[in-house]
Structure 1
């Protein structure tokens, strides 16, 4: 007889569940720890010494530091996170507005061209060419099919 040990007998189902729970709590603990560290650096109301003190407290005495931070400054964490989300949203909206307003629409460009033609600044021929350019630039481009391969002409002097 060999002296084999089976993992299933040494590590029953309840132990697997407790291990999974411990691992999940460990991951949550690190998530909370890093969230607090990021909140310390995000807070503009804290001075440099205040940030250094809270950071040292949270890093050197993690359990006590995290719980004291949550009790003392936990309500402000949510407000700071909401403010940051609002600022990011406003910046994104401003970027989208700036980018969308950067180029006039085809209708606006055609109206300008028509006004230039009516004033006599451009000829009808120039208007038609510019109109085609505007309309082809704003229209969805159809993919161009690849050119079929051409065979070399007979008798090109190649090897026979």
Structure 2
């Protein structure tokens, strides 16, 4: 009973890992702009009829290119997010002073000032 569960878990793990390798190969094939359509079709046909051997050959022959194409693609990151760095102040007193200046100029209300003040103090003691 316990050995059957072990074998089931092991076979399931290998099947899922194999599925992910196949998916990565297919994604990499469509991501590669240097490979012609006929070569892509040939790789797909071999993946269908001789899947394990084809996956092994593909990863060995084109593995370094897979890493470069994945890095070039960026994994779905938005370039604008790379440059975004929220302004971190040195101390809560600087945040409170900025909020007080905004309050004095009339840009924010007393309630907004109180919220900014509690946030600055909360970040200091609870963050």
What interval of TM-score do these two structures reach, taking the shorter chain for normalisation?
A: 0.5 to 0.7
Pairwise CA RMSD: 3.2
Query: What displacement does 1:24 show?
Result: 0.7
C-alpha separation between the residues in 2 aligned to 1:15 and 1:46? Answer: 44
Q: TM-score, normalised by structure 2?
A: 0.61
Greater shift, 78-87 or 46-55, is seen at: 78-87
Query: What displacement does 1:31 show?
Result: 0.8
Structure 2 residue 57 is matched with structure 1 residue 85: no
Aligned twin of 2:12: 23
Q: TM-score, normalised by structure 1?
A: 0.50
> Gaps (5+ residues) in structure 2?
86-97, 99-104, 116-127
Higher relative contact order (CA 8 A, sep 6+): 2
Query: What displacement does 1:140 show?
Result: 4.0
C-alpha separation between the residues in 2 aligned to 1:65 and 1:25? Answer: 17
> Gaps (5+ residues) in structure 1?
1-11, 98-106, 108-130, 144-160
Cα distance change, pair 91–35 in 1 and its aligned pair in 2 (3 A): farther
Give per-residue Cα distances to partners, 1:85-137, cap 9 Å, x unaligned. Answer: 2883535336x59xxxxxxxxx9xxxxxxxxxxxxxxxxxxxxxxx63xx139
More helix by share: 2
Q: How many residues align?
A: 99
